[in-house]
Amino acid sequence: MWRYLLPLGLFVVLVVFLSIGLSLDPKKVPSPLIGKSAPSFQLPELQLADQMVAPEKYIDDIWLLNVWASWCVSCRQEHPVLNRLVKEHEVNIVGLNYKDQRADGIRWLEQRGNPYIANAFDEKGRAGIDWGVYGVPETFIIDRKGVIRYKHTGPVSQTVVDEEILPMLRKLHGEVSL
Amino acid sequence: MNIFRILYLLVFMVLFPATAFSGVEINEFSSVEMENQYKKLVNELRCLVCQNQNLADSNSELAQDLRKEVYQMLTKGSSDEEIIDFMVARYGDFVLYKPPFKPVTFLLWFGPFVLLFFAVLVVVFMIKNNQKTEVVALDEDEKLQAEKLLNADAEKGNNK
């Protein structure tokens, strides 16, 4: 009996482990920044070069930081989703234009629409390092106290908006700020 | 004609050797220790874009930026721990090729030994099981038959 059950049991264990391994996305690395204060930066605005963008400005607000670039192919896929998000809901999205050319970034917004309340122009990618950015696009949700509560790596799809971003925003709006 | 061609080639090679090195960053270190420290760090830190390469091997933009960051921190006199903490704070434990020893990673550290333990158990179990198979004794007739067969074989062997 054991002679047959043991290999079968081992096989089942192997299948379970392999199927878990296959369904995990190795690109999804848990962010150590969740629960931490949003890293600070002082960067010029993409379209209004004489203005500065800093996360401190949005304290007492719930906001999203979306890291994007005109050279980023999957940002193209994500952009209409963000446009729709700000159209249908009252959401503040701050863009972090990551390692881009200013003219390319501005053209991108003119051609595809601008869902952002402001765009920080991170030409050197130094702010990106502080935010632990390793693949564009990335999206963060920051609460009223300036703490990062959520991070999504890769393009935001409508499913991600409906199942993760909106519920998180509702939860944060429900939290009474002290 | 030919000599001109060779000359032209030589001039070209002397003037544009830099193109061959364009992908290499040149860092100047004030001491050998610092250079070794730099090499050790970029070998230990993972490039998150390519995942199975370290910072030293990767040519991705992020790896280049992070190498620059390591270099700058070293020139400012940061210690190894400070640089590693800086990276872990931003990218998590995953940037380290050698995972830290803490409860979340216990399975990673002990898993192979647990598996080895079970493998040994299985082997011991199998050996014990094998020993249990009883030796069947032959009765008189069977013994005679066996002897006959053996002798026949032996004779054949002799004839050859």
Average pLDDT (A110-125) is 95
> Is A13 inside a domain boundary?
no
Q: Which of A6, A129, A134 sits opposite B49 (nearest CB)?
A: A134
> Is A129 inside a domain boundary?
yes
Q: Is residue B34 exposed (0-12), middle (13-18) or buried (19+ Cβ within 10 Å)?
A: middle
> Is A128 inside a domain boundary?
yes
pLDDT in tens, chain B (160 residues): 577 788 877 777 777 655 544 456 777 788 888 889 899 898 889 888 777 888 888 888 889 999 999 999 999 888 999 999 999 999 888 888 887 888 878 888 899 999 999 999 999 998 988 877 667 788 888 888 888 888 887 777 665 5
Q: Which of A6, A30, A132 sits opposite B90 (nearest CB)?
A: A132
Q: For position A136, which CATH number holds? A: 3.40.30.10
Amino acid (one-letter) located at A123: E
How many CA atoms does the CB half-sphere of A66 hold within 13 Å? 30
> How many residues does the structure list for chain A?
178
> Is A61 inside a domain boundary?
yes
> Is A25 inside a domain boundary?
no
Task: Please give the ipTM for the structure prediction.
Answer: 0.77
What angle do helix axes B32-44 and B80-91 make, rounded to 10 degrees? 20
> Is A47 inside a domain boundary?
yes
The share of chain A scoring above pLDDT 70, in percent, equals 97
> Is A21 inside a domain boundary?
no
Q: Which domains does chain B have, with CATH numbers?
A: 30-100 (1.10.8.640), 104-159 (no CATH)
User: DSSP letters along B116-146, please?
Assistant: HHHHHHHHHHHHHHHHHSPPPPP-HHHHHHH
Contacts of A33 in chain B (CB under 8 A): 90
> Is A98 inside a domain boundary?
yes
Supply A129's token pair: 């390092």
pTM of the full structure? 0.72
| Beta-bridge partner residues of A138 | A67, A153
Task: Indicate yes or no: CB of A29 within 8 angstroms of CB of B94.
Answer: yes
Domain residues for A74?
Answer: 34-174
Total domain count, chain A: 1
What is the Cα Rg of chain B in Å?
A: 35
What pLDDT, on the 0 to 100 scale, is given for residue B16?
Answer: 67
Task: Indicate yes or no: CB of A129 within 8 angstroms of CB of B94.
Answer: no
Distance of alpha carbon A176 from alpha carbon A163, whole angstroms: 22
Question: How confident is residue A55, by pLDDT bands cut at 50, 70 and 90?
Answer: very high
- Strands A63-68 and A138-142, sheet pairing: antiparallel
Q: Which of B88, B90, B92 sits opposite A129 (nearest CB)?
A: B90
